[in-house]
Amino acid sequence: MAADRSAEIAERVREAAARGTPLIPQGGGTKAFLGEAVAGEPLPLAGHEGIVGYEPTELVITARAGTPLAEVEAALAAQGQMLGFEPPRLGAASTLGGVVAAGLSGPRRPWAGALRDFVLGVRLVNGRGEVLRFGGQVMKNVAGYDLSRLMAGAQGTLGVLLEVSLRVVPRPVREQTRVLALDAAGALERLAGLARRPLPLAGACHVAGRLHLRLAGAAAGVEAAAAEVGGEVMGEAEAAAFWDGVRDLAHPFFRDGEGALWRIALPPAAPPLPLAGEWLLDWGGGQRFLRSAEPAGRIREVAAAAGGHATRLSGPAAGVTVFHPLPEPILRLHRRLKAALDPHGILNPGRLYPGL
């Protein structure tokens, strides 16, 4: 049932703040693996849903945080539009608030932008139980500090999202996926070469000895680019299934295999890393998934040496944090910022880092 539960949610937070009880904002319950375990009372967002504003000519959609992602995507598709960052749909129950709080983006990210690049505004409850609005529904807005984009990826530790406004994009007229047989090093080399060309790329993923390039845009532009990148055309249905699989972490690579699953973010052109295991390279090399039995410490060291960082996607494990450790001065800024928004430390405490 679509309803506005803002007042009730704010009241819950005020109460919890007064008692000092931690709360766990809950969307669809699909991303528990994406953070440290939190002890606290669930704060369900279920029922706080509904699209409150969507004007296709404005390229903006505004919806309550508990709105299922599927509902948002269906509304956009009906108007020939979509979320440009292609958020992973980790389950049918995913909610818009959970998507924004998790801050994950899909295969289109290097060319279209990350989730946070599409956040225009939010309404939230801070840890004092105050209902606040930051940003808005327009593309350009620099009034006050940008606390709305800060919520992307903060995993509900800085505020409970009530409402989110996102910029949307038109669906491309034409899409085509090309496949090239290359090893990982060869694929990275090829991608570095293509990076300088103004091609309508919308996906570049290497797995199992094959580089998949998705082209999207005006029909004529896609055809010209296809001729330039070469390779073989992938059938439309097969291509759609492939990109959905990568996007939703549902490709066989994510399901089968030994060892822990890691997500390593790197400068895209970084050469293959000396870590044993199975690899899937997405984002033209900027996001690499690794299934490996290597010790966490070594994985993080190698990633950092290459200019990147590693997240453990298999969920928390003894002695291994989910997220890459932060340098001390940055951690200090994080703690103070957390205190500025959630002075009683009741919002998902410890979900990201100890004390956050």
Partner 1 sequence: MDGGADRTARRRARAVAETLARRLGGGCVLTDPEALRPYECDGLSAYRALPAAVVLPRSREEVREVVRACAEAGVPLVPRGAGTSLSGGAVPHPEGIVLSLARMNRVLEVDVRNRVARVEPGVRNLAVTEAAAPYGLYYAPDPSSQVTCTIGGNVAENAGGVHCLKYGLTVHNVVGVEMVTVEGEFVRLGGVAPDAPGYDLLALLIGSEGMLGVVTEATVRLLPRPVCARVLLAAFDDIPTAGEAVSRIIAAGIIPGGLEMMDGPAIRAAEDFVHAGYPVDAAAILLCELDGTPEEVEEDIGRVRAILEDCGAREVRLARDERERALFWSGRKNAFPAVGRISPDYYCMDGTIPRRALARVLEGIARLSEAYGLAVVNVFHAGDGNLHPLILYDANRPGELERTEELGLRILELCVEAGGTITGEHGVGLEKLPAMCVQFTREEIAQFHAVKEAFDPGRILNPDKAIPTLARCAELGGMHVRGGRLPFPDLERF
Ligand X SMILES: Cc1cc2nc3c(=O)[nH]c(=O)nc-3n(C[C@H](O)[C@H](O)[C@H](O)COP(=O)(O)OP(=O)(O)OC[C@H]3O[C@@H](n4cnc5c(N)ncnc54)[C@H](O)[C@@H]3O)c2cc1C
Question: Interface residues for ligand X in 152-181 (CB under 6 A)?
Answer: 155-156, 160-161
Nearer to ligand X, 164 or 246 (CB): 164
**Residue 140 interacts with which of ligand X, partner 1, none, CB < 5 to 8 Å by class:** partner 1
* Interface with partner 1 (CB under 8 A), residue from 44, 136, 272, 315: 136
Number of residues that bind partner 1 (CB under 8 A): 88
User: Minimum distance from CB of 29 to ligand X (Å)?
Assistant: 4
Nearest to ligand X of 154, 290 (CB atom): 154
* CB within 8 Å of 344: residues ≥ 6 apart: 17, 20, 127, 128
Q: Which is nearer to ligand X, 167 or 351 (CB)?
A: 351
Under the binding rule (CB under 6 A), the answer on residue 184 touching ligand X is no
Q: Which partner, ligand X, partner 1, none, binds residue 71 by CB below 5 to 8 Å per kind?
A: none
For ligand X, the closer CB: 65 or 303: 65
* Residue 108 binding: pick among ligand X, partner 1, none (C-beta 5-8 Å cut-off by kind): none
Decide: is 109 part of the binding site for partner 1 (CB under 8 A): yes
Judged by CB under 6 A, the residue of 3, 11, 42, 192 near ligand X is: 42
Site string for ligand X, 60-79 (x = CB under 6 A): -----x--------------
CB atoms inside a 10 Å sphere around CB 62: 22
Q: Which is nearer to partner 1, 1 or 143 (CB)?
A: 143
Residues in 189-248 that interact with partner 1 by CB under 8 A: 192, 195-200, 217-221, 223-225
Residue 165 touches which member of ligand X, partner 1, none, C-beta under 5-8 Å by kind: none
Binding of residue 35 to ligand X (CB under 6 A):
yes
Separation of alpha carbons 166 and 52, rounded Å:
12
Q: Stretches 22-30, 69-77, 188-196, 235-243: which one binds partner 1 (CB under 8 A)?
A: 188-196
The answer to the question of residue 103 lying near ligand X (CB under 6 A) is no
The residues binding ligand X (CB under 6 A) are 24-32, 35, 37-39, 42, 45, 65, 94-95, 97-98, 101-102, 155-156, 160-161, 348, 351
